[in-house]
């Protein structure tokens, strides 16, 4: 799946794998998740895969690292569109988007799922 539902599914899987609720995966949780997904890998392969996801080299995989590891990179066109949308939403130019900025710029009433009553 792509889009918001795809991300929601990935977020759910990440939370399920995160046994201790730390919002990160350690090597033990990662290895357990691989086994539960019937991925047959040697301990060395599991460690190499873990290290590939752990781009911060801190011994854990954050949600952001997980998403970056499983998601294809954005095309230049899509990246430009995201940057343009961010600039529009970041009304005060702070470089961060606050919830009130999103609320002031986004009218969810026109979203097809809202219209459909979902």
Burial of 32 (0-12, 13-18, 19+ CB in 10 A): middle
Sign of CA dihedral 104, 110, 112, 116: positive
* Residue 14 sits in the same domain as residue 46: yes
CATH number of the domain that 49 lies in? 1.10.238.10
64/45 Cα distance (integer angstroms): 22
* Residue 57 sits in the same domain as residue 97: no
* Residue 10 sits in the same domain as residue 65: yes
40/22 Cα distance (integer angstroms): 26
pLDDT per residue of the chain (118 residues) written in tens, 0 to 9:
455 556 667 678 888 889 999 999 999 999 988 888 788 889 999 999 999 999 999 999 998 898 888 777 778 898 899 889 889 888 899 998 888 888 888 788 878 888 898 8
* Residue 85 sits in the same domain as residue 65: no
The per-residue pLDDT for 2 is: 52
49/31 Cα distance (integer angstroms): 10
* Residue 64 sits in the same domain as residue 80: no
* Residue 22 sits in the same domain as residue 36: yes
Other CB atoms within 10 A of residue 39 CB: 12
Residue 75: DSSP 8-state: P
In terms of residue numbers, what domain contains 96?
Answer: 76-115
The per-residue pLDDT for 51 is: 94
Domain count, the chain: 2
The per-residue pLDDT for 1 is: 46
């Amino acid at each position: 799946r792509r889009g918001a539902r795809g991300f929601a599914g990935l977020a759910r899987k990440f939370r399920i794998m995160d046994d201790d609720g730390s919002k990160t995966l350690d090597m033990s949780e990662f290895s357990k998740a691989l086994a539960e997904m019937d991925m047959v890998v040697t301990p060395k392969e599991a460690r190499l895969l873990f290290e590939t996801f752990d781009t911060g080299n801190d011994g854990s995989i954050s949600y952001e690292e997980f998403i970056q590891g499983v998601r294809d990179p954005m095309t230049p066109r899509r990246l430009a569109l995201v940057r343009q949308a961010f600039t529009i939403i970041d009304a005060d130019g702070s470089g961060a988007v606050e919830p009130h900025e999103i609320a002031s710029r986004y009218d969810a009433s026109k979203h097809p799922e809202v219209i459909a009553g979902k």
